[in-house]
C-alpha cells in the first residue's frame, strides 16, 4: 500500500468529530473509569491525543519538512498531561 499524505490528513481531520460523537453526553462513570492502576480512561486517552498533537506533532511539522520526519516520534510525556487534567477536575 502506498502512503498518501492527503488520505492521512482526511482521516485525521475526522477524528475530533468522531470522538465527540462517541463520548459526548456519556456519564462520567463510563468516560472517566479506568481498568485499574496503570490504565487510562477514555478522557485520559483523548487528552493524550490532544497533548501529543500540540506538543509533539505540530512542532515537528513546523520545524521539519515532512520528508525528513523520523518514523518514530520522540517521547513527549503524556503522563504529565493526564496528571494535570486529573488534578484540575
10-36 pLDDT, tens digit each: 888 898 899 999 999 999 999 999 999
Alpha carbon 34 to its chain centroid, in Å, reads: 17
- Give Cα 27 to chain centroid, integer Å: 21
Helix orientation angle between 5-23 and 42-52, rounded to the nearest 10 degrees = 150
Mean pLDDT, rounded, for 77-89: 56
Sign of the Cα pseudo-torsion (21, 36, 86, 28, in order): positive
| pLDDT score of 11 | 87
- What string of H, E and C letters represents the secondary structure of 4-28? CHHHHHHHHHHHHHHHHHHHCCCCH
Instruction: Determine the pLDDT at residue 41.
Output: 96
Question: Residue 38 sits in which domain range?
Answer: 5-88
49-64: per-residue pLDDT in tens? 888 877 877 676 666 5
Q: What is the DSSP letter of 68?
A: G
Domain count, the chain: 1
The pLDDT of residue 81 is 57
Amino acid at each position: 500500500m502506498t502512503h498518501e499524505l492527503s488520505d492521512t490528513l482526511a482521516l485525521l481531520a475526522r477524528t475530533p468529530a468522531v470522538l465527540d460523537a462517541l463520548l459526548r453526553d456519556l456519564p462520567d462513570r463510563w468516560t472517566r473509569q479506568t481498568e485499574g492502576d496503570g490504565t487510562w480512561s477514555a478522557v485520559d486517552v483523548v487528552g493524550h491525543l490532544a497533548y501529543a498533537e500540540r506538543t509533539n506533532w505540530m512542532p515537528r511539522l513546523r520545524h521539519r519538512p515532512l520528508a525528513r520526519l523520523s518514523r518514530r516520534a520522540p517521547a513527549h510525556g503524556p503522563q504529565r498531561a493526564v496528571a494535570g487534567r486529573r488534578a484540575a477536575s
